[in-house]
Amino acid sequence: MRKVMDCREYPSESHCTLTIAGEEEEVLRAATSHAVAVHGHEDTPELRASMRGLLTDEVPQNA
């Protein structure tokens, strides 16, 4: 089961619509880079913890 991080669920001013899907650690790594580069967040344990809480299970498209 892949994990999904939908940026629309993340409170921000930029109205970002990015969705990142993959293995949990892949999503966290990509989402952290994205949050720092695009949203100006600091790469902190708190940021990673809050993003981990945003991960949801991917819904299979062909179910």
Q: Tell me which residues touch Zn ion (CB under 5 A).
A: 7, 16, 18
13 or 62: CB nearest Zn ion:
13
SS (HEC) of 1-63: CCEEEEHHHCCCCCCCCCEEEECHHHHHHHHHHHHHHHHCCCCCHHHHHHHHCCCEECCCCCC
42 or 63: CB nearest Zn ion:
42
Question: What's the closest the beta carbon of residue 20 comes to Zn ion, in angstroms?
Answer: 9
7 or 55: CB nearest Zn ion:
7
